[in-house]
Structure 1
Amino acid sequence: MEALFWCCLVFGALIAIITLIFGDVLGGAADGATGWLPIDVNHLFQPVVLSGAVTVFGGSGLLLDRYSSWPNAGVYAGAVTIAVAIGAGMYFIYVRPMRDSENSTGYSMEDLAGKRAEVLTSIPANGFGEVLVRVGAGNVNHTAASFDREEVPSGTAVVVVEVKEGTLYVSRMD
């Protein structure tokens, strides 16, 4: 029994070190390996959660075996319970908040329809100007034309009505 706990403790510690060095590759492999599941549980099988749980299982099993008077089955059950609790804690305290905080800077031009913008370069009635649109955590500049075919001076708040051929067609905010 003690040999199993020592193996889990050492194996979990080695996996933690390997995860520290190759974490992105292993995280992608975990996503691919669980892609067949009908529910989204990929984040539960992240290497940091698994290696943490295996390490805690080994360590808590050693401590329970040495310092408690429980029978072998009780030691195993206690070690599994502690490992699951710590693994769940790692998921809810570390993995889930980090996953939810990820921001992407990628966007599609079609996503800009309906967005608010500010005119940077005046837009003539039958010509082009420039607008500043807030996308995600940043701002982007785009070529714009007036949707209503009227002049729009710089500094005016507008809304993107339509996106055609890489040009934003905007209308004044009223």
Structure 2
Amino acid sequence: MELFGYSLQEIYLFGLIIGGIFTLLYILFGDILEGIFEAIPDGVLNPTLIFSFVTIFSATGYLFEKLSPLNSFIVFMISVILALFSVILLNIFVLIPLRSAEESIVFTEDDLKGRLGKVIISIPEDGFGEVVLEGNSGTLSMSAKSFDDDPIPYDKEVLVIDVKESVLYVKAYDSFN
């Protein structure tokens, strides 16, 4: 069967090549497109899903036209169904989990104020030690200095009072009880 003077096999091959080129360009310049597509709500027009659909549709159409004796309409329907099924699986099992996992674990020094930690290297009078802070995003170990210049022993629970130049200024926590 021919369409626009080309066989369907050639059209599927052109679609595969064009889909592959656009996928490669999207990988290289995706940040620009993400900015353009940001105005559109999530899930409506996702370039990853569009390029995946075109590539899978063209590849299955080309292979079925080349290797099977099936009617062109049946090949078209099989290609659409396989591409839709693959894109739905890609979205559910890859893209949605990645989108929800994009939460940053970056913190500012102000975020650390008021948190409880534990001394892992004792803090001497007028000296530095080390405190570990545990949270949802993991464990953070930072240099620490006593806020009142009092010594704080190992394994003592402390409260972060201030943070300056990546140094925690802490106070023993039991002094607040």
Does the alignment reach a TM-score above 0.5?
Answer: yes
Residue 94 of structure 1 corresponds to 94
| 1:53 CA drift (Å) | 1.8
| 1:150 CA drift (Å) | 5.9
Structure 2 matches for 1:1-174, cutoff 5 A?
1=3, 2=8, 3-16=10-23, 18=24, 23=27, 25-37=28-40, 39-41=41-43, 44-46=46-48, 49-63=49-63, 67-69=69-71, 71=73, 75-101=75-101, 104=104, 106-119=106-119, 120-122=121-123, 124=125, 127=126, 129-134=128-133, 136-137=137-138, 139-146=140-147, 151-160=151-160, 162-163=161-162, 165-166=164-165, 167-172=168-173
- What residue identity is the alignment partner of 2:42? D
Q: Between 4-13 and 162-171, report the one with greater CA deviation.
A: 162-171
Q: Give the distance between the partners of 2:88 and 2:33, measured in 1 at CA.
A: 17
| 1:58 CA drift (Å) | 0.7
TM score, norm. by length of structure 1: 0.65
* Structure-2 change in CA distance of 1:45 and 1:14 (3 Å): closer
- What residue identity is the alignment partner of 2:79? A
Decide which structure has the larger Cα Rg and report it: 2
> Residue 61 of structure 1 aligns to a residue in which SS?
helix
* Structure-2 change in CA distance of 1:68 and 1:168 (3 Å): farther
- What residue identity is the alignment partner of 1:141? M
| 1:114 CA drift (Å) | 4.1
Q: Give the distance between the partners of 1:106 and 1:9, measured in 2 at CA.
A: 40
Q: Give the distance between the partners of 1:104 and 1:143, measured in 2 at CA.
A: 24
Conserved? CA contact 1:116–1:157, under 8 Å? yes
Please list every run of 5 or more consecutive structure 1 residues that lacks an aligned counterpart in the other structure.
none
Please list every run of 5 or more consecutive structure 2 residues that lacks an aligned counterpart in the other structure.
none
Q: Give the distance between the partners of 1:121 and 1:144, measured in 2 at CA.
A: 10
Conserved? CA contact 1:34–1:41, under 8 Å? no
> Residue 118 of structure 1 aligns to a residue in which SS?
strand
TM score, norm. by length of structure 2: 0.64
